[in-house]
Amino acid sequence: MIASLYAGISGLSANATAMTVIGDNIANVNTTAFKGNRSHFANILSTSLGGQSATGNVGRGVEFWGVNAQWTQGSIENSSSATDLAINGKGFFIVQDGTGSDFYTRAGNFQFDKNGYLVNPDGMQLQGYQIDSAGNLGAIASVYIPGER
């Protein structure tokens, strides 16, 4: 009887953790570029009664196995800002902070700073490939448009 109580308690515990993941998904439903998570569970098998057959296994319940991000494409919303960008499909925007560290985001709400660089709301500069007049791809650098502010 104790084993059956443990199995029930393990199910309740795993479900409580899953509810936390669901709550996080709901709380961030309107967060720009948020990717939801999905909970995974596993059976706990601990004892084999008698022989080695699968029917002889006694379960001990369930355990929370982990969380996986859902990388499905979200909806693309229209914007009145000419500097708002979106990625349709796989990929990330590269943004760089003041120390030269790169970060990756799918949030495309950019604007020009006072120096003409395209930046996100945290002031990180959008990075892009330089292309010369012949169409040759160059190095990655901050996106700068002269005269834009």
The predicted pLDDT at position 45 comes to 64
C-alpha separations of 130 from 30, 101, 147 in Å: 33, 19, 18
Q: Which two tokens stand for residue 141?
A: 């650098």
- Per-residue tens of pLDDT for the chain, all 149 residues: 676 777 788 888 888 888 999 999 899 888 877 888 999 888 876 655 555 555 555 667 888 888 988 887 877 888 899 999 999 988 999 999 999 999 999 999 999 999 999 999 999 999 999 998 999 999 999 999 887 66
Sorted by sequence, the CB contacts under 8 Å of residue 59 that are 6+ apart come out as: 7, 43, 44, 45, 46
Please give the pLDDT value at position 149: 64
The whole-number pLDDT of residue 49 equals: 57
Query: So what's the pLDDT on residue 97?
Result: 96
